[in-house]
Amino acid sequence: MLTGTDDGDLPARGSSRAWKKLKRNRSALFGFVLVAFFVAIAVLAPILPIADPAATSWSAIRKPPSELYWLGSDEIGRDLLSRMIWGARASLLAGVVSVLLAVAVGVPFGLLSGYFGGWTDQIISRITDALLATPFLILAIALAAFLGPSLTNAMIAIGLSATPIFIRLTRGQVLSVKTEDYVEGARAIGLSDIAIMWRYILPNVFAPVLVQATLTVATAIIAEASLSFLGLGQQPPDPSWGSMLNVAKNFMTQAPWMAWWPGAAIFLVVLGFNLLGDGLRDALDPRES
């Protein structure tokens, strides 16, 4: 007989099993280390003993990496290490906030579409299909250009462009979950639709949404770098990896290190989120042992 204590232990057991599976996945742990490293330097940027990222020095224009400038300096003598660290704040903030916006908008619409069906599903699905027909980055560029160049507007543009992905994912999961016996039982005892969605459906679509959110952060970081490269994201003199690449393209022969570091940072942080997302997908899949 299943007691109340046993029932309460089920989520903990599931979480423990997922954590054990995640720990066995070396690539996921490597991704977690990469993400944790970049998050740490972004959070600690204000207290790290580094130079002012906006301070210029006309005697240090395009200096190669040295003991004084560990990653070299840029076209007006600013320390690249400092700008890289502060640029991590903009890139990670844009990635996380834009995905949170996409989840906050997409999951509720996906729940409504999948649970109620009918004309509600038709309207939401057709709008979603229309948005998905437009390439993600093209839609983000169009929205950012319409809203105006700034980091905040870039985050809004990226978040709205990623919303259809979460609507479609949530809708599909809800269509699968709402036919389960426990949902039918909850409906039979008179629970309201809101209560059923909150207590029984939403917890069961959380895992795939979490995995998709982790993977989408990587896409959002690339999108933010692209918008900043085009002048639609973080505005000078505030540092951003994308805007640093935009400047570096003019000095590829004279100072190639100006492009090395932001390019490598984008590659590593995106790799980290993708590896972590793949690991979470395997760990949260109940079919995997």
Q: What is the pLDDT of residue 4?
A: 39
Instruction: Say if residue 262's pLDDT is above 90.
Output: yes
Closest by Cα among 77, 72, 110, 87 to 38: 87
Q: What is the pLDDT of residue 114?
A: 92
Q: Scan for tokens 């996906």, then name that residue.
A: 110
pLDDT digits (tens, 9 = 90+) for 198-217: 888 998 898 899 999 999 99
- Give yes or no for a contact between 234 and 228, defined as CB atoms under 8 angstroms apart: yes
Sign (positive or negative) of CA dihedral 169, 172, 178, 181 = negative
Q: What is the pLDDT of residue 1?
A: 34
Q: What is the pLDDT of residue 21?
A: 77
* Average pLDDT of the residues in 173-185: 87
Beta strands per DSSP E along 53-142: none
- Give yes or no for a contact between 245 and 225, defined as CB atoms under 8 angstroms apart: yes
- What would the two tokens of residue 8 be? 């309460």
pLDDT digits (tens, 9 = 90+) for 58-110: 888 998 998 888 999 998 999 999 999 999 999 999 999 999 999 999 999 99
The pTM assigned to this predicted structure is: 0.88
Instruction: Say if residue 5's pLDDT is above 70.
Output: no
Instruction: Say if residue 9's pLDDT is above 60.
Output: no
- Give yes or no for a contact between 224 and 90, defined as CB atoms under 8 angstroms apart: yes
- DSSP label at 256? T
* Average pLDDT of the residues in 137-141: 94
Sign (positive or negative) of CA dihedral 221, 224, 228, 230 = positive
Q: What is the pLDDT of residue 58?
A: 86
Q: How far apart are CA 17 and CA 8, in angstroms?
A: 15
Q: Scan for tokens 């983000």, then name that residue.
A: 140
